[in-house]
Amino acid sequence: MINENLMFSDRVNYFNSQLSLNVSLPESIEALNPFIDPATFETASAFYNKYYNDNNNRKLILGINPGRLGAGVTGIPFTDPKRLTEVCGIPYNGKLLHEPSSAFIYEMINSFGGPDAFYSKFYISSVCPLGFIQKDDKGKEKNYNYFDSAALKKSVQSFIEWNLQEQIKIGCDTEICYCLGLSKNYQYLLDLNNKEGYFGKIVALEHPRFIMQYKAKEKVRYINDYLIKLQC
């Protein structure tokens, strides 16, 4: 159980240290838990100690689940190694991988006023705090989302419900929650929230991956949309 008397950073770091998924997963699907690696946990802890060493009550932004090139290696949602080192100034010893979603988020953060200003008000997590990978016949890995199959979604339902309760305990505002993704992630979170009443309101934002892959020429418009909605 998270100690609510600790600093926000301590609560996040404790939560990450306790993460595990003890459920049966569909064939060919594996859980992605970056915190199994002590070096990744140390890297993520340095980030949270830098930006969250306070008792601020923050608004929660929920992505889908960690991906291989961002949170899957840094332990920090939407923060790839390139942004971690070049923008946040946190040391990283692995490859400087690039994740398009992270590039968008940090452009938006820069427009907001920079990491110090943004992270003092917002905490980014995921509906499902651990990611998933699928391996093909040749062993090649690709990202897999919790909603990509009915079987996986059913397997992690209780884990997701536990996660949302814990994110609130970490120190998140329950008046409003922001959801990254306008379709499946939003609909799932909306339905679950209607049932459980975690948050007063869910506000949807277009997912950074969709923007960078399909709407890159309209990136500035989407950044402005984020900035407007985050002032709610």
DSSP characters over the chain: ---TTS-HHHHHHHHHHH----S---TTEEEE-GGGSHHHHHHHHHHHHHH--S---EEEEEESS--TTTHHHHSSTT--HHHHHHTT-----S-----HHHHHHHHHHHHHT-HHHHHTTEEEEESSSSEEEEE-TT--EEEE-TTSSHHHHHHTHHHHHHHHHHHHHHHEEEEEEEEE-SSHHHHHHHHHHHHH---SEEEEE--HHHHHHH-GGGHHHHHHHHHHHTT-
Q: Is the pLDDT of residue 78 over 70?
A: yes
Q: Is the pLDDT of residue 1 over 60?
A: no
pLDDT of residue 2: 55
Per-residue confidence band for 140, with pLDDT thresholds at 50, 70 and 90: confident
**If you compute the radius of gyration of the chain from its CA atoms, what whole number of angstroms results?**
17
Closest to 31 (Cα-Cα) out of 69, 80, 65:
65
Q: Is the pLDDT of residue 112 over 80?
A: yes
Query: Measured in whole angstroms, how far is the alpha carbon of residue 165 from the centre of its chain?
Result: 15
Residue 202 — φ and ψ, nearest 5°? -110, 120
Query: Measured in whole angstroms, how far is the alpha carbon of residue 232 from the centre of its chain?
Result: 20
- What's the average model confidence in pLDDT over 22-37? 92
pLDDT of residue 4: 63
Under 8 Å between Cβ of 35 and 41: yes
Exposure pattern of 103-133 as b/e (b: 16+ CB <10 Å)? bbbbbbbeebeebeebbeebbbbbbbbbbbb
Under 8 Å between Cβ of 90 and 46: yes
d(CA 180, CA 62): 6
| pLDDT tens per residue across span 166-198 | 999 999 999 999 999 999 999 999 999 999 999
d(CA 85, CA 92): 7
The answer as to whether 3 is a domain residue is no
Q: Is the pLDDT of residue 136 over 60?
A: yes
The answer as to whether 44 is a domain residue is yes
Domain extent for 219: 8-229
pLDDT of residue 96: 83
pTM: 0.94
Q: What is the CATH number of the domain that holds 20?
A: 3.40.470.10
Domain count, the chain: 1
pLDDT of residue 210: 96
